[in-house]
C-alpha cells in the first residue's frame, strides 16, 4: 500500500447556482427542445454526439451523465474512450457516426469560424435532409446543456443512468 493510494480525493465543489429552480420556464423549454431535437435520430449515434460535444465544452456533469447513459444502453467502453481521439481511431466507428462526430466538432467550436463545406458535405452524404437538420438541432441542444452545466458548475458523479430520460 502506497501513500498515494491512501491520499484522499480533492473535496467536491458546490454548484454556483441552481439555475433550473431560478428559471423554471427556461428549464421547461430546454426539456421540450431536447425532446424535439432527438426525434428521428439513432440513440446510439446521439450519445456519441453528446459525449463528444461535452468533452469539447468541458462539461463534467454532462460527461458523467452521457457516458453512464451510453454504457447503460450497451455502448462499448472502447468506443467511449476513443471518442477523444476519434480521428486516429476511425475503425471504431461507422462512416455515418464519423460524419456526425465531425459535424459536432464544427458546430461546437463555432467561434473559430463557421462550419466548413467539406464537413457539412460529408454529413449531407450520410444523412438525408430532415435527419441532418435534426442532427444539427441535437448538436445545438447538447451545446446548450453544456452551457448551463459549465456556467453554473453542476456537480458530476451523482447521476444514475436513465435518470433524465
Length of the chain counted residue by residue:
165
Site size with another protein, rule: CB under 8 A = 51
Q: Which stretch binds another protein (CB under 8 A): 6-14, 71-79, 85-93, 123-131?
A: 123-131
Sole residue written with cell 459549465 = 150
Q: Which of 57, 65, 93, 98 binds another protein (CB under 8 A)?
A: 57
C-beta separation of 133 from 123 below 8 A: no
CA distances from 88 to 10, 67, 85 (A): 33, 20, 6
- In a 10 Å sphere around its CB, with 0-12 CB exposed, 13-18 middle and 19+ buried, how is residue 68 labelled? middle
Using rule CB under 8 A, residue 155 touches another protein = no
Nearest approach, Cβ of residue 112 and another protein (Å): 8
Query: Where does this chain bind another protein (CB under 8 A)?
Result: 16-17, 19, 22-23, 25-26, 28-30, 32-33, 35-37, 39, 56-59, 103, 106-111, 113-115, 120, 124, 129-130, 132-134, 136-137, 139-141, 143-144, 146-148, 150-153
Amino acid at each position: 500500500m502506497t501513500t498515494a493510494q491512501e491520499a484522499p480525493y480533492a473535496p467536491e465543489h458546490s454548484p454556483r447556482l441552481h439555475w433550473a429552480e431560478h428559471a423554471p420556464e427556461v428549464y421547461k423549454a430546454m426539456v421540450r427542445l431536447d425532446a424535439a431535437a432527438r426525434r428521428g435520430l439513432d440513440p446510439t449515434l446521439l450519445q456519441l454526439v453528446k459525449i463528444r460535444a461535452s468533452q469539447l465544452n468541458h462539461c463534467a456533469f454532462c460527461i458523467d451523465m452521457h457516458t453512464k447513459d451510453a454504457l447503460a444502453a450497451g455502448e462499448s467502453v472502447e468506443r467511449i474512450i476513443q471518442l477523444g481521439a476519434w480521428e486516429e481511431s476511425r475503425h471504431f466507428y461507422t462512416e455515418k457516426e464519423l460524419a456526425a462526430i465531425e459535424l459536432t466538432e464544427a458546430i461546437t467550436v463555432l467561434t473559430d469560424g463557421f462550419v466548413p463545406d467539406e464537413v457539412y458535405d460529408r454529413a449531407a452524404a450520410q444523412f438525408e435532409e430532415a435527419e441532418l437538420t435534426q442532427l444539427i438541432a441535437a448538436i445545438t441542444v447538447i451545446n446548450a446543456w453544456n452551457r448551463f452545466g459549465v456556467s453554473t458548475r453542476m456537480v458530476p458523479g451523482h447521476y444514475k443512468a436513465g435518470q433524465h430520460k
